[in-house]
Amino acid sequence: MLRRIAIILLVLFVGGGVALLFHFNGHPTTVNLGEKSSIELPTAAHILIAIGLGASLVILAGMLRAVSGSFGRWRSRRRAKRAAAVDKIRQEGRHRLWAGDFQSAGKKLARAAEKEPQDLETHLALARSREELGDLEGAQKILEAARAQHGPHPQLLSRLGNLAMARGNAGAAIDALREAASAQTESPRLLSELMAALAAEGQYAEAADVARRRLALERQPARREQAKQDWLAVRYRSALAQNDPKKANDELKRLASEEPTFLPPLMELAARARADGDVRGADRLYRDALRRHPSGAVLERFQSLHAAAGEPARALGPLRNACGSSTSPGPRLLLARTLVAAGKLEAAEETLADLSRESTAKGRAGADIAPERDLVSGELALSRGNDREAAKLLLRAATARRTPFSYTCQDCRRTAREWIASCECGAYGSYDWSVNGTEKEAV
């Protein structure tokens, strides 16, 4: 009802306005349409025609704007639909890549990359699918094409560097990773990758500098500790690569002084002293290390130094000190062996008896001392002339599930007959006595 009243009022208002316009402007006016054409209408009619033309233009402009807006919304919906379809293909490709279906993942990701060539993540995933299939050259071509399009993006350069390392081209890896680290200077990950590439190429001095920068940036405790170990390892390798023996020894001494728990520098210095026939120099190094940080590896090397020199009794003092400050059976087993070598058979037998009682009391939860105990007991029996008993014990020690006084990497659990500075897993200074662990750990 109100709507009808409003319409009636509007019609009356407009009609009244037109009537007034014609009442006051009813005299005719001529408008020339050309040289020989004209039209004569009341002035009010001309005014209304002008107003009508203006209103028509406004309406036409509004219609054009509405059509343009509708067309823009249609294009936006079309783009969104296309993007959703491409994203679906891309996500499916990434899922198959994660699942290990690299062939199918490559096909999906190739389609997504063709439809959306500006998406860097798709190119990286596509390159990875090629790499997983063993097509390293194809992966490199994809990454190089992406680099030409996206420029020196740090993530892209990182992948190029790692791919170059996989292909055995450490020089190209260094170039790419150095550029990536320069573009993103606060990234410990990029610095770690650059350090590894430099070390692989033998550029240890720069690798040590990069490792130091990485250590300064790491904040998470576990990663910081790993960064510290990597820094020490590359400094150690740098010292070994020195052509000047004095400079090498100075750097090894500096490392051993700064980090007493990092054994490779100390072991190398002592080995060099032994190779030169400097038993006293090696003895000083081992004794100093034992005062600062008793270690099974150092004890074993110290004992073997004096055993090889024919003076095993010289190792007894530090071994007894180590037994007093350690709950591990390792030092006492080594003490018993040294007592046998020094001819102190009663003391050796007593030490072995104490260890056997402790091992029996602890049961299966105790340390696995069987092969070491059998070895030392066999040597003791041999010293007493009991050849049959010695043969039985030594055979049992030789056929045990692990070698007596062997070493285990604390990172990957690989074992070695002798202490070694580095493991195949890449860790340095990670080997420790297997006898120090429980039976379950001593593998």
Provide DSSP, 53-66: HHHHHHHHHHHHHH
Q: Residue 341: what are its φ and ψ, rounded to 5°?
A: -65, -30
Answer for the pair 314, 420: CB distance below 8 angstroms, yes or no.
Answer: no
pLDDT digits (tens, 9 = 90+) for 202-247: 999 999 999 999 999 998 898 999 999 999 999 999 999 988 989 9
Averages of pLDDT over each 10 residues, the chain, 443 residues = 74 65 63 65 66 75 76 72 71 77 78 75 81 84 83 87 88 91 90 92 92 92 91 93 91 91 92 92 91 86 91 91 82 91 91 80 57 91 92 91 87 89 89 68 41
pTM, two decimals, is 0.72
pLDDT digits (tens, 9 = 90+) for 262-318: 999 999 999 999 999 999 999 999 998 888 877 888 999 999 999 999 999 999 999
The reported pLDDT for the residue numbered 139 is 84
Question: C-alpha angle 285/199/245, rounded to 5°?
Answer: 40
Question: Residue 417 has what DSSP assignment?
Answer: S
Question: Residue 367 has what DSSP assignment?
Answer: B
> Residue 131: CA atoms inside 13 Å, Cβ hemisphere, count?
20
Can you say whether residue 259 is alpha, beta or left, with left for phi > 0 and alpha for psi between -120 and 50 degrees?
beta
Q: Which of 50, 45, 17, 52 is nearest to 30 (CA)?
A: 45
Gap between the Cα atoms of 89 and 109, Å rounded: 7
The reported pLDDT for the residue numbered 443 is 38
The reported pLDDT for the residue numbered 19 is 67
Answer for the pair 251, 238: CB distance below 8 angstroms, yes or no.
Answer: yes
> Residue 134: CA atoms inside 13 Å, Cβ hemisphere, count?
0
Gap between the Cα atoms of 196 and 198, Å rounded: 6
The reported pLDDT for the residue numbered 439 is 44
Q: Which residues contact 282 (CB under 8 A, 6 or more apart)?
A: 270, 271, 273, 274, 305
Gap between the Cα atoms of 287 and 299, Å rounded: 9
Task: Tell me the two tokens of residue 5.
Answer: 């009243």
Q: Which of 208, 200, 264 is nearest to 235 (CA)?
A: 208
The reported pLDDT for the residue numbered 366 is 47
